[in-house]
Structure 1
């Protein structure tokens, strides 16, 4: 494997580029946008909102991989005071702790939860119907799906154990995900990888070395002309706000009556907003037939409870809908092994958070990218070597 092409410059694409370059391949990465990162992007200032989930879980393999390469960078800790300002919404009131049933379920090993049964049915048999529904809604912070209870019990239970773990696994890179992405890109370039942004690939190279397609599953479906590249995911209504600072604003609100999460990002990283302002993001999962307005209305009701006078204090506002917020979700009877395979044949490999790789949140992207490069190396029958032939000519269109 003298040469490897990566299509897509998000987290998975950069992991693949670094891994292949470290193995000695000549790597070229193409990203259709002008900036790298995919859902790991952080918007340019003055309000540096993250496009996707912004926490790194330190219990996964990607953490040690990033740390070994000094790519994590400084972290933004949540203060003890702010940690006490995490509230749960239930029945129109705010409470400090979720029901004990959440922790009771979280103690159950993943092996207890069946793959072929939905989470609500399994959990209700242990803690009752109401607490099972509450626990499913609590997991909006890690799943962003409108009906967590309908997903595979084993799939949900793995995430419940990670979210409820003490001490918490979540860590927040200072400056948002983009700071990590920028360090990864610099590392790839140091290793000799060529990174071209604003380059939209419309067809695969006719010949040459392996290709890792590290795009969304929808983009890969079009590029590879493969209608089988589909998997269940979720939709989330987003409301991003810049607010004039007021003492007493909550750190976060978890909605237990319905899936939803609101977080004040500047609680741990004040530099994400202008001085004297807060950056808040509300993330409300919505069903396939629900409109953005439904999610935004729910977000505003929660804001009324935890961010007094937020309407008058608003200095900036942005609304949107995000699809595939945290990648794949597994329905009863399926596991990550049933998702689209990484090896597509003919030297083409998939990487991303909706393909056949284990893990939670960004760990799926990491594991699939490392596996894609490993398969590409093994397929050559030898280790990759430095250098390589001339760069291929691909069909590029300006983004």
Structure 2
């Protein structure tokens, strides 16, 4: 029986463990924390917050994979009346619709953006500067980067299309991401996966292939490989619980600067006590900016969309996410240029900043499947193949 060791018990690690176990492999997962989930953890207590706004996109292969295994669970649908309360800040005023110039970039018939040009330059040629900037800032909901217009046009366009698609691709597991993680952990356990928590790994085991499913920074330290770097975002996170008030916005996208606020209890009342609303926001900040700069922008947007929110606050938390929001691709680069999954000597990398396609958590999922496929192939298991129905692109 083949053996695979997985380091990291987040989404990528659990995906790798389940995939390997389904192929008949003995798997051990080492997780440094006392709980599984990585960045997909949901806080315990009365306020069920995720680490930044989270949604599960139905357009990617991981949705199919999870659904086939009944791992998604109940979803929290957005009531139509709440969905109608999406607001957009443009020129300092809240609006219900985006500028017409921005809509030109959302048409399915619009040109495929190039990889080697920045988004702002390309989009300005297509729709003018006003529409280009509004579209760039809106795309920050799926980028977590302070200057989306400076990134590869192809990279931004894909995320803009996914974030604005109708009907929406974004779905919300009831109870937060922890509900999905719990189901994945239970499936792994039933498949015989051995899961060790509070088990930090400082030296690579040598009893078989190893899938390193950690952050890129942690993988760099563990593998002692300084080449494991890639550009990421830096984001101020603001979580609030406020007493309920009729008329609060469901979500607010800032088209004057990158930023997003969402009232998550609009679709899932289990995330906060009765009579309170859970509001989460993310505001990308530049390298020279501080957390306070991002929080100040969040408060200005809250002033517009949540009347009297300061007097209604019952709980508040602030943080900065540094390199924890996935990879971003600069002009001239794509996902193929990121650190390779196969690191040689039976070591494979999985996570959201490695060479695999997809949006946000889809990169973790795709890289985990690729890592297991390569690991088993290296052990002369020609019968193992990635499921064709997932249409996974090979690196």
TM bracket, shorter-chain basis:
over 0.9
**1:236 and 1:76 mapped to 2: Cα distance?**
26
SS at match of 1:201: coil
What is the match of residue 25 of structure 2? 25
**1:177 and 1:323 mapped to 2: Cα distance?**
20
**2:281 and 2:53 mapped to 1: Cα distance?**
12
Higher relative contact order (CA 8 A, sep 6+): 1
Q: CA deviation at 1:61?
A: 0.3
SS at match of 2:238: strand
Q: Alpha carbons of 1:109 and 1:35: their partners in 2 closer, same or farther (altered >3 Å)?
A: farther
What residue ranges of structure 1 are gaps of 5+ in the alignment? 386-399
**1:53 and 1:279 mapped to 2: Cα distance?**
11
4+ long deviations beyond 6 Å: none
Q: Residue 196 in 1 paired to residue 196 in 2?
A: yes
What is the match of residue 155 of structure 1? 155
SS at match of 1:239: strand
What is the match of residue 54 of structure 1? 54
**2:91 and 2:116 mapped to 1: Cα distance?**
32
What is the match of residue 295 of structure 1? 294
Q: CA deviation at 1:62?
A: 0.2
Mapping 1:315-334, distance limit 5 Å: 315-334=314-333
**1:193 and 1:53 mapped to 2: Cα distance?**
30
**1:361 and 1:80 mapped to 2: Cα distance?**
26
**1:358 and 1:309 mapped to 2: Cα distance?**
43
SS at match of 1:327: strand
What is the match of residue 137 of structure 2? 137
**1:318 and 1:3 mapped to 2: Cα distance?**
42
SS at match of 2:34: coil
What is the match of residue 370 of structure 1? 369
Asked if structure 2 preserves the Cα contact closer than 8 Å seen for 1:110 and 1:158, the reply is: no
What is the match of residue 74 of structure 1? 74
Mapping 1:1-399, distance limit 5 Å: 2-107=2-107, 112-205=112-205, 207-382=206-381
Asked if structure 1 preserves the Cα contact closer than 8 Å seen for 2:104 and 2:110, the reply is: no
What residue ranges of structure 2 are gaps of 5+ in the alignment? 385-395
Asked if structure 1 preserves the Cα contact closer than 8 Å seen for 2:231 and 2:328, the reply is: yes
Supply the RMSD in Å over aligned alpha carbons: 1.3
**1:109 and 1:322 mapped to 2: Cα distance?**
35
Give CA-to-partner distance per residue, 1:166-201, whole Å, 9 cap, x none. 111111000011100010000000000011111111
Give CA-to-partner distance per residue, 1:116-143, whole Å, 9 cap, x none. 1000000001111121111100111111
Give CA-to-partner distance per residue, 1:296-346, whole Å, 9 cap, x none. 001001111111111111110101001234300000000000000000000
**1:109 and 1:367 mapped to 2: Cα distance?**
28
Question: Size of the alignment, in residue pairs?
Answer: 384
Moved more, 364-373 or 44-53: 44-53
**1:108 and 1:259 mapped to 2: Cα distance?**
24
Asked if structure 1 preserves the Cα contact closer than 8 Å seen for 2:15 and 2:368, the reply is: yes
SS at match of 1:163: helix
SS at match of 2:77: coil
Q: CA deviation at 1:97?
A: 1.3
What is the match of residue 389 of structure 2? none
Q: CA deviation at 1:382?
A: 2.1
Q: Alpha carbons of 1:111 and 1:103: their partners in 2 closer, same or farther (altered >3 Å)?
A: closer
